Amino acid sequence: MHPGTRLLGFVVCVVLAAGCGGTSSTATSSAPPSSSALFVTADAENLILQPGDVGSGWFAIPKDTHAVSLAESMKGDSVSLRKIERGSYRSGYQGLYTDGRKDGVLLGAFTYNDPAVALQVADSWSAQTATQIAHARLLHPPTSVVGDRISAWQGQTHEGRALVPVWVVMWSHGNAIGGVFLFGNKASAAQAFRIAAAQDARLTAA
């Protein structure tokens, strides 16, 4: 979820209503690729989990829950990556939800005409994602979370002078890319993996 990755510090501030600082990291990882016959034709807006799917009492922040254009999805990408994105991009959507108690999640779904492009874009975005969180630590999610290529990290992002825990899960599944950015002091890796599994199930059922 590239646009969400770039805006991670901002959306944490939206949920926490506090100032932000910079972040840094050096870790990236992806599981070996696997073939998938999945081809999602639905618009990405119909692929995103709803707030109630995340948890009871969660609600959307409307101004940060919206369709993502091709131009927005390509921000920060290399010239070579943009070239293949332009020829294959179908749709994208992001949803920013909060529990009203300073925990939040940013979800993303993106679809492409070519599964090979989705895989390449996801790998590139995953590498960029790890640079957006401080103290990034590679995670090894259970194989039951997502069947295809998946990357996951635990780290922190700044909220004023404090550091807020962040869990990032990103994957490609057929021609679709899914992403979960979960942050907050009460959040956990298990919760991030549960949301990712539910989000992938939504992609698979589309």
Structure tokens at 202: 């939504």
Residue 45 has pLDDT above 90, yes or no: yes
pLDDT at 146: 80
Q: Name which of 117, 144, 140 is nearest 31 in CA terms.
A: 140
* Amino acid occupying residue 156: Q
CB atoms within 10 A of CB 177: 28
H/E segment holding residue 22: none
Min mean pLDDT across 31-40, 50-59, 111-120, 177-186 is at 31-40
- What's the full length of the chain, in residues? 206
Structure tokens at 55: 């948890």
pLDDT at 28: 39
pLDDT at 33: 44
CATH number corresponding to 2-205:
3.40.1000
Residue 194 has pLDDT above 50, yes or no: yes
* Domain boundaries, given as residue ranges, for the chain: 2-205
Structure tokens at 102: 């300073």
